[in-house]
Chains A and B, each alone.
Chain A
Amino acid sequence: MAEIRYMEAINRALQDGMAADENVIVMGEDVARAGGSFKATRGLLDKFGARRVIDTPIAESTIVSAAVGAAMTGLKPVVEIMFMDFITLAMDAMVNQAAKARFMFGGQFNVPMVLRTPHGGGLNAGPQHSQCLEAWFAHVPGLKVVCPSNPQDAYSLLRAAISDPDPVVFIEHKALYGKRGEVDTAIGAQIGKARIARPGRDVTIVTYGNTVHASLQAAAQLAGENIEVEVIDLRSLQPWDEQAVYESVSRTHRVVVVHEAVKSFGSGAEIAASITENVFYELDAPVMRVGSPFMPVPFATSLEAQYVIKPADIADAVRVTMAGGR
């Protein structure tokens, strides 16, 4: 099995998805001739032609709404929004149109579209090119939200997203595009199923996306202190694998939820509250959350370095929960 980069896994999933179903089209700004701003769509134009790989004008609102209309008329569009921050321009399309069409039209239509978009900081991209806005979409009934942390999941989950009959927001992390890993294209994935990235008996870290790696680093550090951390990679936030999390909590009795999005009103709050509601008596300590500070993502390297979540921040939270809370 070859090791390929995360970005190549995305590209491969698009290729295989398009080859498998002629109704799959790719559209977005600079996705065809330029091959995508992160090159995730490179080569698709040559392979599938301009009819199915479509460069759009810079008009996020209409690009995404058009994907909804195309999906309702028999296509399976995969739209790229160059940076997740730009999704603000297409919120009507996602929130009022894509998410609700199936329900409000009484099940007459499915909206089988995928919106691919990179989130996350760490590249000095500044306040308008770095946000993690997944909680917005996880809050909207009708949307699915997927966020893979490694090349295999990027491949398998994107294939699943393309085949899914409902609209899926597929979130990639810019800092992961270069990450290498083995990819077996025969391995499938189910949206909503988590994965235990590292088994452990003392504390459960629940996370997804790029912070899976920071959490694994923290876990490695903590192992040296005789704290065995279990890291759960959720892989998808809507739906999220409550069962896997509760089972882990029932083994470890302590939880830290970690995400790169700002902590306030984030996905971590939902996960922590659900744990409290459902498996409160399994807990030996309050559920801790690690998230970014409540501020826009700063540009300067020195500022961003302080903003990003480091393994040490996660390890600190684990130590607090091991001590029974603050």
Chain B
Amino acid sequence: MTKNKDSQLLLSLYRTMRLIRVAESSLIKLFADSEIPGFIHLSIGQEAVAAGVMAALEERDTVATNHRGHGHVLARGMELDLFFKELMGKDGGICRGRGGSMHVADRSKGILGANGIVGAGIPIALGSALAHSVRGTGGVAVAFFGDGAMAEGVLHESLNMAALWKLPMLFVCEHNGWSEFSQTKEQFVAELADLARAFGIQHVQVDGNNVEEVALAAQQLTSQARAGGPRILECKTHRIRGHFEGDSQKYRNAEELIAADDCDPLIFARAMIEQCGVAPAAVDGIDAEVEAQVAASVLAGRADRQPDFAQAFADVYTATAAQG
């Protein structure tokens, strides 16, 4: 890769990460001001995983994510207005205000949904990989999950089936050390590498705060998975905010939180970009563009109307049932 190309890729990854950061930072305020109902789970600190993995995917690929999935769907290209409207519970939201933060999906981008049940997206992605295989689409299905999902049975069942059937699937673990409010090491006795070995699946662990490293590994693993056979990408990262927004994180010590701040993937990426010789002003320009974009989407979200109850009620089943 030439230096120029390298910096172009980095800039594009940086833009995605900055978009996620700014979008989620704006959610903090919207949530505090009750403009976002329910719960939200922020991925601040983990943006490099979303940006790096999504950069490796093609249009035909499918993705299932989890309750901490804002970064994934934004990196996959969900329209920002549709995202904000959904989180604000508005009619113009991607799911017409019926799903909210934990249940965003975007068929047009192959996003099979975020999921409110820990680990539940993994076997859905498995089924999607099966469909790619049966239908010969050439697509890969990606499952995003946190280390908290390592204790869920469906992960183990899915690893088995994916390996057994050599499915085009990438398992992406965002390993932030926390299973909701408990440390994963107090919840789960094995390592993901052990599971990978047990099921005969190639496993790669990367620094999940280094977007270049994530992107290169994801690129390699998805092309291998596309050729047939699952792969596991484990990204060691940090969850800077709590399990959910509003969680005061009393269960974490100050050193750990400070250490997490020191591993900010955006600061890393910016330093790398500047090492490539890109002027700081160019990066600042991206920041400003992204901030304007997010601010516009927040306004669009505010301006949108509330969803219609009768319409929602009518939409539980498909209107035209088939005849046998």
Chain A interfacial positions (CB closer than 8 Å to B):
13, 23, 25, 51-52, 54, 56-57, 59, 61-62, 65-75, 77, 92-93, 96-97, 100-110, 141-142, 144, 155-166, 188-192
Contact = CB atoms under 8 A, between A and B. Distances in A.
B127 A70 contact: yes
Contacts of B126: 62, 65-66, 69
A102 to B, nearest CB: 7
A66 B98 contact: no
A52 B93 contact: no
A192 B321 contact: yes
Contact of A25 (B93, B134, B321): B134
Main SS class of interface, B = mixed
Interface of B: 62, 64, 93-99, 103, 105-107, 112-113, 115-117, 120, 122-132, 134-135, 137, 141, 153-154, 157-158, 160-161, 164, 312, 315-318, 320-324
A72 B321 contact: no
Given A73-B127, A75-B130, 8 more contacts: A66-B124, A69-B64, A74-B135, A93-B120, A104-B95, A104-B113, A109-B105, A163-B324
A105 B93 CA distance: 10
B316 A62 contact: no
Given A73-B112, A102-B315, A106-B96, A65 B323 contact: no
Contacts of B131: 69-70, 73-75
Contacts of B128: 69-70, 72-73
Given A57-B157, A65-B120, A96-B120, A107 B127 contact: no
Contacts of B137: 74
A258 B127 CA distance: 38
Nearest to A161: B324
A100 B62 CA distance: 19
A-B residue pairs, 4 tightest by C-beta: A69-B127, A160-B324, A159-B324, A65-B123
Contacts of B160: 57, 59
B105 A108 contact: yes
A108 to B, nearest CB: 4
B127 A56 contact: no
A49 B234 CA distance: 35
B315 A103 contact: yes
Nearest to A64: B123
Contacts of A166: 317-318, 321
B155 to A, nearest CB: 9
Contacts of B322: 160, 163-165
A49 B50 CA distance: 38
A56 B123 CA distance: 13
A10 B218 CA distance: 44
In this complex, the member of A67, A97, A101, A163 whose beta carbon has the largest number of chain B beta carbons within 10 angstroms is A97
Contacts of A162: 324
Nearest to A157: B324
Given A106-B96, A165-B322, A70 B117 contact: no
B135 A75 contact: yes
Contact of A104 (B98, B107, B134, B317): B98
Contacts of A74: 131, 135, 137
A11 B317 CA distance: 27
Contact of A189 (B93, B94, B324): B324
A205 to B, nearest CB: 25
A69 B316 contact: no
Contacts of A56: 161
Nearest to B126: A66
Nearest to B159: A62
B249 to A, nearest CB: 28
A240 B96 CA distance: 29
A284 to B, nearest CB: 35
Contact of A73 (B103, B122, B141): B141
Contact of B127 (A51, A52, A71): A71
Nearest to B307: A106
In this complex, the member of A75, A106, A157, A164 whose beta carbon has the largest number of chain B beta carbons within 10 angstroms is A106
Contacts of A97: 115, 117, 120, 124
Contacts of B96: 106-107
